[in-house]
Amino acid sequence: MMMFKLIIVDDELLMRIGIRSMLEWEAHGFRLVGEAANGREALDLAHRMSPDLIITDIKMPLMDGLCLIREVSKALTSCKFVILSNFDEIGYVKEALRLGASDYLIKSEISKDALAEVLAGIREKLETTAGTDAGRFPLPTDYTESLTHLKERLFKDLISGLLDEREASVKAEQLQLRVRSDLLVVSKLRIDRFEEVRRKYVEKDERLLRFSVRNILEEIIPSSRSIEIVVENSAEYLLISNTLGKEWPDVRSELEKLLGSIQATMKDFMNISFSSGISTVVTGFREVKSAYREADYALRGRFFAGIGQAAFYEDMAGLLEKEQIENVLDSGRELLLQDALDSKHAGQIVAYLDEFRNDLDHRRADEKSIRMAYIRLTEMINSRNPRARQSENDRSPYEAVLTAETWEDIHKLAAEYACRSLSDGRPSDQASYADMAAEMIHRYYAEDISLQSVAGQINVHPAYLSRIFKQEKGENFISYLTRVRIERAKSILESRNYKIYEVADKVGYHNYTYFSKLFKKVVGVSPEEYRG
């Protein structure tokens, strides 16, 4: 296996130790060549060691993670970055991704599986450029690819504020952009339900997703139109367009038609939906940064308005100026929720939740306050009935609330969870924790469940669950889960209705190679050989 050099950067010693000891790095194709406590130390280390990958915190003394990415990228253009962040640092994460970071991990949710999955994606990218010299940008496969990359880099630099008007105009002329430094509009498109879409492409290559989306956009937008396409990341795409002296109502009408055509075509060919945010008209390349912010602001309105829509900044301005509500669930509202739960009546619970949502809307609660309010609701439901189950599509109700894309999604999840808790309640002496965990494995083996997530759902410490599970079941949690998944995979393989990678996905393994190796280890033959 080709080995790549890795540096870990975090000002917290315990975090560095935790990440360092989480994996057998060389088994995943990486050799740890150094650690640093801040960006300045990391930059010096990078100059000496020429790493292929840097896993770095964002907020650090002396030099933060964003500055580190900028500085290292100047000298080591093929170096990849993975960001470590907290939930409240998502703005910094977005900036890091714009600067070229490949992925990010939430500190409180880092797991061995999540880290291994990120490393697999990074290693694949590095292997494709392994023939290039350290510190050089990989040579493009052809002139078109090179030109596309340079155009996208120009606009990303404009969005980051790294270029002034003169520099941008010179580069725009050199690259023969379709747009001029004139009256401009920025449209930002984001794939709806992106994580669901992304999972479909993990086995093939996420680059295929970006390639496919860009190709369709280029087919829809003729080269004669004054519009440039920018791939910001796998989920987000930009359209930079000139108004060509037209009045705004005409420009808006044309954009609405274009975005509608994109939406319909993407649905037909890829079965994906887009939401979009559109800026006002700005003057010159120097204002692309502010136009981008407007488009991003308008796009964020989908949390309240729903997905699959085109939102114009001029319509949204002020509508998202919400309030941060500190005490969203006071004692009075908690008592009302307790009464609704005690009623054991789904209709009363749903009525309470609807009233709760209306109250938050009336108080103009912002997105963060809304998410925290529903987290508190979920905590109360779970405390009343620790056996309440998560839905089949979610690893936990808490994660579902934090990652749902719209308020409506969060509200539906809360209602489903609350109503499900009515049927899941039963006397605690009817089933041991090991039985409850085993039941969850049989119900949710196809999801990304773990000892920690199951322990959280049945309200018991993971270490305790691990011990009693092995005592009562005769094998540890992972072994039991693996056995259930492989037995189910054997059954599906015998039906011959699905391809091998589809079988892997159906039993909870989103990495086909890993599934194939594990299957052979357990069964003695590969999935292909088993099917015969």
pLDDT in tens, 403-432: 888 999 898 888 878 777 765 544 433 456
pLDDT tens for 449-481 read 999 888 878 766 777 788 888 888 999 999 999
Half-sphere CA count of 110, side-chain side, radius 13 A? 24
**pLDDT tens profile 241-260:** 999 889 999 999 999 999 99
Show the low-confidence residues of the chain (pLDDT under 50).
131-145, 203, 391-394, 425-430
What is the CATH T-level fold of the domain 143-316, as seen in this structure?
Answer: Alpha-Beta Plaits (3.30.70)
High-pLDDT (> 90) share of the chain, %: 25
Q: Provide the residue ranges of all domains of the chain, joining segments of one domain with +.
A: 4-128, 143-316, 331-424, 428-532
Interior/surface letters 273-299, b for 16+ CB within 10 angstroms, e for the rest: bbbbbbbbbbeebbbbbebbebbbbbb
Q: What pLDDT, on the 0 to 100 scale, is given for residue 140? A: 37
Residue by residue, DSSP assigns 1-36 as ---EEEEEE-S-HHHHHHHHTTS-GGGGTEEEEEEE
Spatial separation of the C-alpha atoms in residues 281 and 287, rounded to whole Å: 9
Nearest Cα neighbor of 237 from 285, 191, 168, 179 is: 191
CATH topology of domain 4-128: Rossmann fold (3.40.50)
Contact predicate 73/79, CB 8 Å? yes
Spatial contact of 506 and 493, defined as CB atoms under 8 Å apart: no
pLDDT reported for residue 423: 54
CATH 1.10.3720.10 correct for 428-532:
no
